[in-house]
Amino acid sequence: MTIEFSKPLKATPTPIPGVVLYDLPVHGDNRGWFKENWQREKMLALGLPDFAPVQNNISFNETAGTTRGIHAEPWDKFISVATGRIFGAWVDLREGPSFGTVFTAELDASQAIFIPRGVGNAFQTLEDDTAYTYLVNDHWSADAQGQYTFLNLADRTANIPWPVPLDEAALSDKDKAHPHLADVVPMPPKKILVLGANGQLGRALREAYQDRAEVEFAGRSEFDISAADSFSGRNWKNYSAIINAAAYTAVDEAETPEGRRNAWVINVQAVAELGKIATAHGITFVQVSSDYVFDGTATQHSEDEPLSPLGVYGQTKAAGDAIVGAVPRHYIVRTSWVIGDGNNFVRTMASLAGRGIKPSVVDDQIGRLSFTSDIAAAIRHLLDTAAPFGTYNFSNDGEPQSWAAIAAEVFGMTGGKPSDVSGVTTEEYFRGKAAAPRPLNSVLALDKIRATGFLPAQSSERLKAYLNAEVSRG
């Protein structure tokens, strides 16, 4: 077979999700030929995942008809032919609706194919002296052998049309003994680790991911991010994402000597350790940030506004953001005024209304509430849709309000009188108290999260639903 020279680089999707066939430009003359077998910049521009290969393997096959596979390994592969020609067969052996899907193609040195983790790879040589190359994003190890998934080459369900009948081909005894599709245990997806799983956001993430068996939830007893030994002992190669919902959030206590140390340990030092792990293993790192990284002087805070924290808590969150921003695969989800299942401002106001107490509430801090169920849904949306990495503001939508206006709304919904809430300035409210400085304007721009297809719900609607649920809960 003659190689076609100077074809344009081209990507062709296949019936198996994530499997993409590539035409490679091959340049030749009377001396032979040359090709760029792997060119990261050009490949990424065509949509190939930046899968960070670390090892290159070559399978040399002396005679035509040599047949190898079907093996699904726990890593991604970029496969090409160095010399000769092959008939390739790929079968999806991952959990999910595409399990069992088959794709076949003949490949010569002018083509390559990307095979995601869990898709079975097999080939049969069509010429003598064929070399088949693998570029993989994990190092082979004996431990990894136990994570392989295999399929019998002669499986009738897959019904692969081998050019050379298998009874005439060169096969290994191991390949002959592999199970048929009905007996194959599908390869499970990589795990998502949720840290801080017992906090307000953590509980909302449990609810958001209740249908996903691969999501692992860790509270402080399972993963204490303030303890150095928590970061070892896991096989991080088996994780696709870390969602860090753990944080030191005692804003006022952070201004004390002990609180300052604790805030830096949890919000910065632990985040740095997670960032190292995510970078080393190609894991997507989701970090939850705060409006406190801003000084509140802007009318509305966009994602690219320079950080300008006022107090220790804000400083530690800003430092954490800077660290996570250097992780190749990251989402920073910046929120404000978080309300969920736990002690929070709305519950406190509802309780005061029920007891007939008339509170004074600050009326010069402006922002929007962020309900944890919606924060969790936004995080899942970013991961599920593979949105562009980066920082995303998130709060619920609607007209910005002061804390006092929200308190009055809560009073009106829970049997109290909105007029029972009186407004005071932040300075008046904290006079004589040890308190951290707070941004007066926490309104976050939401254009970027909307552009991904996620539309934040109206704050007023979520507030009604939240209070109705509180009443039902008793």
pLDDT in tens, 219-238: 999 999 999 899 998 889 89
Under 8 Å between Cβ of 285 and 330: yes
The tokens for 341 are 């299942």
What is the phi/psi pair of residue 356, to 5°?
Answer: 75, 20
Q: Which residue has the higher pLDDT, 43 or 470?
A: 43
- Burial of 210 per CB tally in 10 Å (0-12, 13-18, 19+): exposed
Specify the pLDDT at position 27. 85
Any catalytic annotation for residue 330?
A: no
Specify the pLDDT at position 52. 87
Q: Where are the domains of the chain?
A: 10-183, 191-473
Specify the pLDDT at position 191. 96
Specify the pLDDT at position 472. 62
Nearest alpha-carbon partner for 129 in 71, 77, 62 = 62
- Give yes or no for residue 273 having a pLDDT over 80: yes
Task: Kindly name the residue from 132, 134, 209, 248 that is annotated as catalytic.
Answer: 134
Specify the pLDDT at position 344. 94
The arithmetic mean of pLDDT across residues 428-439, rounded, is 92
Q: Which residues, listed in sequence order, are joined to residue 335 by a DSSP beta bridge?
A: 290
Specify the pLDDT at position 268. 98
Specify the pLDDT at position 336. 97
Q: For 135-173, b where at least 16 C-beta lie within 10 A, e where not — what string?
A: bbbbeeeeeeeebebbbbbbbeebebebebebeebbbee
Q: Report strand pairing: 370-371 vs 10-13.
A: unpaired
Specify the pLDDT at position 32. 81
Q: Which residue has the higher pLDDT, 1 or 29?
A: 29
What Å distances lie between residue 412 and 63, 183, 249, 400, 406, CA to CA?
A: 82, 61, 29, 18, 10
Q: Report strand pairing: 26-29 vs 32-35.
A: antiparallel
Q: Which residue has the higher pLDDT, 381 or 237?
A: 381
Q: Which residue has the higher pLDDT, 189 or 31?
A: 189
- Burial of 58 per CB tally in 10 Å (0-12, 13-18, 19+): exposed
- Give yes or no for residue 175 having a pLDDT over 60: yes
Specify the pLDDT at position 138. 87
The arithmetic mean of pLDDT across residues 291-310, rounded, is 97
CATH architecture for segment(s) 10-183: Sandwich (2.60)
Q: Which residues, listed in sequence order, are joined to residue 285 by a DSSP beta bridge?
A: 242, 330
Tens of pLDDT, residue by residue over 98-140, are: 999 999 999 999 999 999 999 999 999 999 999 999 999 988 7
Spatial distance between the Cα atoms of 441 and 58, rounded to a whole number of angstroms: 59
Nearest alpha-carbon partner for 456 in 464, 439, 444 = 444
- Give yes or no for residue 206 having a pLDDT over 60: yes
Q: Angle at the Cα of 26 (from 112 to 69), degrees rounded to 5?
A: 25
Nearest alpha-carbon partner for 319 in 269, 247, 245 = 269
- Give yes or no for residue 29 having a pLDDT over 80: no
Sequence-separated contacts (24+) of 303-306 with Cβ below 8 Å: 303/334, 303/390, 303/391, 303/392, 303/393, 303/445, 303/448, 304/391
Specify the pLDDT at position 184. 96
Spatial distance between the Cα atoms of 391 and 348, rounded to a whole number of angstroms: 31
Sequence-separated contacts (24+) of 36-44 with Cβ below 8 Å: 37/80, 37/82, 37/112, 37/133, 37/135, 38/78, 38/112, 38/135, 42/9
Spatial distance between the Cα atoms of 87 and 277, rounded to a whole number of angstroms: 38
pLDDT band at 143 (very low <50, low <70, confident <90, very high): low
CATH C-level class of 191-473: alpha beta
Spatial distance between the Cα atoms of 148 and 151, rounded to a whole number of angstroms: 10
Specify the pLDDT at position 4. 74
Any catalytic annotation for residue 134?
A: yes
1-10, 194-203, 236-245, range with the lowest pLDDT: 1-10
pLDDT band at 176 (very low <50, low <70, confident <90, very high): very high
pTM metric for this prediction: 0.89
Would you mind telling me the total number of residues written for the chain in this entry? Answer: 474
Under 8 Å between Cβ of 190 and 240: yes
- Give yes or no for residue 473 having a pLDDT over 80: no
Tens of pLDDT, residue by residue over 3-28, are: 677 788 999 999 999 999 999 988 88
Under 8 Å between Cβ of 299 and 441: yes
Task: Classify the phi-psi angles of 311: left when phi > 0, otherwise alpha if psi is within -120 to 50, otherwise beta.
Answer: beta
- Give yes or no for residue 283 having a pLDDT over 70: yes
pLDDT band at 146 (very low <50, low <70, confident <90, very high): low
- Give yes or no for residue 471 having a pLDDT over 70: no
The tokens for 388 are 């562009």
